[in-house]
Amino acid sequence: MLSRMSRRFLLFCLSSLLAIGCARQGYPEGGPRDREAPVVTNETPANGTLNFNAPSFYIAFDEYVVVQDADNNVIISPPMRPKPTFTTKGRGILVTLNDTLQPNTTYLFQFKNAIADFHEGNKLATHDYAFSTGNTIDSMTIAGTVLDAMTLGARKEVVTLMLYPADSPDSCIAHQQPSHITRSNADGSFRFTHLKPGHYRIVAIEDADKDLRHGPNEAIAFADGPAVAHAATDSTAETLQMLMSFEPRQVQRVAQSGFVREGYAEVVSVMPMQNPSVQTDTALVWRLSPQRDTLRIWTRNPSGRLLHLVLTDSSGLHDTLKMQWRPRRSKTGASTTAPSWCQWSIGTTLPYFQPMRLTFTTPLDTLRSRPDSAVVVMRVADSSRRICRLIADSTLMSATVDFVPMSNEKYEVTLIASQMYNILGATTDSLKVSTEVQGEDKFGAILVKIHQSDSQSRYVVQLTDESGKVLQSQKIEESGRVDFRRLTPATYRIQAFADRNGDGLWTPGNYYQHRQPEPYYFMGKSLTLRANWDIEEDFTVGGTPKPNLLQPADTKSTSKSTMPTFR
């Protein structure tokens, strides 16, 4: 027999061992993290049910789940108003139908990243639940891609695709609920399923306000003709490709106006001006910016702080403007000063084909200025000097030095003080700049042979940088060669668009005019240009545009052996 104390000690040891074992079972250390998405285990009524008349359906999973942003992540065809209610119940989701179901109709619920497990947040990428209120469940499909018309890549924004009966009027996209909806995937592909056999009008929009209607400020893509629903197993069925573009519907107006600094004001319009007219009782000079959307105004009286004018333009402008200058002060209390009105546009290097140029922020006063002997050009190698004149352009906003520099030479260029005046009476101190002229061997050329695969005779071929910024453009009427010369060493890309209306500008599509966007074509690689080299390439344009998938550069390069002929 154990003593009472021994029994107590033994009981304590057993209890401690049990507590340690339980603790280890309840709180395991380490172990793999759950990275699996929830798995559907049961659906009630069953997926694909016919003659469906239940007020709700339930989807069960192998673990606890949550519904994330059902309004945006659950796509329902045909759309329901009011929308269903999604609630979690046990290890599943209960979907309560709040809309009256249409007879003999197949309904499809697409859960796209809408369901996640409760603990780790692992998402179920997609799950479809379908039922029919009739005796059959529709099984036809329409598939394709939606690409950005200018880049031929997938759109970054969410794209909603909508189907309507083929005989619907054009206005259906603005006033009628679609019969089916879906969304494109990250690569621009899409697929409608559970459709009735037949023909459909198909459009794609960036539905920013989520009203399933096309608004005036939403991009759109559309097919030229009806889309035909086909069996999913039909390998001969057409795969649609639609190009999405946006045509702004803007009314010409003044976007902003006011003084930028004392004696200088700007008027900015929404769209470019055509032939502006300015009426005022104040002595002033104005110029239209190169982009034609900004009117630059200088008052001849720099102390004048109030400006009244009437601006009219054939683009639709007719505005009476009142602008007043109010001096601004810096944080230190000192008045801000206007920038220098005259400066050299020459850098430390100057390409041999570019002139030495001065630019002005205020128009030149040709009566007071003395351009005939305004500049001294010194060649650094032998300190030889030459007095040169300035030649002002027609806008009086810039002037070039009447001097042809030699390649690979260094020069010191000086604007002599008090030789040039602007319309406000300001002059300049001596302005000096040093530069080295880069010779032809510092540049290269890209020579592109164009092949047309269709009857479209007009194209605009563009040279861009790696980011897609257009650097040069050339029109071409038929198959031939396009030369891009005098290029600095860099990586470039080649693209072209079919200039169907012959205006030299890319034109977006217009749904109501049944006009597709002018198609773009991209060379499938980048071109890395080195100094003193030519790159020769073949580029085929025309036909159905292909997605823009750039490949590593692989070019035919030849060293220059003769002086090129420049355009």
CA separation for the pair 328, 257 (Å, rounded): 17
* Average pLDDT score over residue span 348-376: 95
In a domain, 501, yes or no: yes
Claim to verify: residue 414 and residue 515 sit in the same structural domain: no
Q: What is the pLDDT of residues 176-193, one digit of tens each?
A: 999 999 999 999 999 999
pLDDT higher than threshold 60 for residue 2: no
In a domain, 334, yes or no: no
In a domain, 30, yes or no: no
pLDDT higher than threshold 80 for residue 327: no
107: containing domain: 40-132
Residue type, 172: C
Claim to verify: residue 105 and residue 158 sit in the same structural domain: no
CA separation for the pair 457, 463 (Å, rounded): 19
In a domain, 564, yes or no: no
Claim to verify: residue 126 and residue 157 sit in the same structural domain: no
The residue out of 102, 132, 162 marking a domain boundary is 132
Claim to verify: residue 100 and residue 175 sit in the same structural domain: no
CATH of residue 193: 2.60.40.1120
CATH of residue 304: 2.60.40
Claim to verify: residue 555 and residue 446 sit in the same structural domain: yes
* Average pLDDT score over residue span 282-311: 86
The residue out of 244, 265, 285 marking a domain boundary is 244
Nearest to 495 by CA among 462, 517, 469: 462
CB 459 within 8 A of CB 430: no
Claim to verify: residue 450 and residue 549 sit in the same structural domain: yes
In a domain, 219, yes or no: yes
Computed over every residue of the chain, the mean pLDDT equals 89
Q: What is the pLDDT of residues 391-437, one digit of tens each?
A: 999 989 999 999 999 999 999 999 999 999 998 889 989 999 999 99
Claim to verify: residue 80 and residue 96 sit in the same structural domain: yes
pLDDT higher than threshold 50 for residue 246: yes
Which residues are CB-neighbours of 504 under 8 A, at least 6 positions away? 460, 473, 475
CB atoms within 10 A of CB 75: 19
Residue 242 banded pLDDT, cuts 50, 70, 90: very high
Return the pLDDT at 300: 74
What's the number of domains the chain is made of?
A: 5
Claim to verify: residue 448 and residue 434 sit in the same structural domain: no
Here the tokens at position 109 are 């619920």
Claim to verify: residue 115 and residue 160 sit in the same structural domain: no
In a domain, 7, yes or no: no
Beta strands in 73-179 (DSSP E): 74-77, 85-88, 92-96, 106-117, 123-132, 140-148, 160-165
* Average pLDDT score over residue span 207-218: 90
pLDDT higher than threshold 60 for residue 319: yes
CATH of residue 532: 2.60.40.10
User: Counting every residue, how long is the chain?
Assistant: 567
In a domain, 333, yes or no: no
The residue out of 190, 211, 244 marking a domain boundary is 244
In a domain, 419, yes or no: yes
Claim to verify: residue 125 and residue 45 sit in the same structural domain: yes
Claim to verify: residue 447 and residue 417 sit in the same structural domain: no
CB atoms within 10 A of CB 470: 13
CATH of residue 363: 2.60.40.1220
Claim to verify: residue 464 and residue 534 sit in the same structural domain: yes
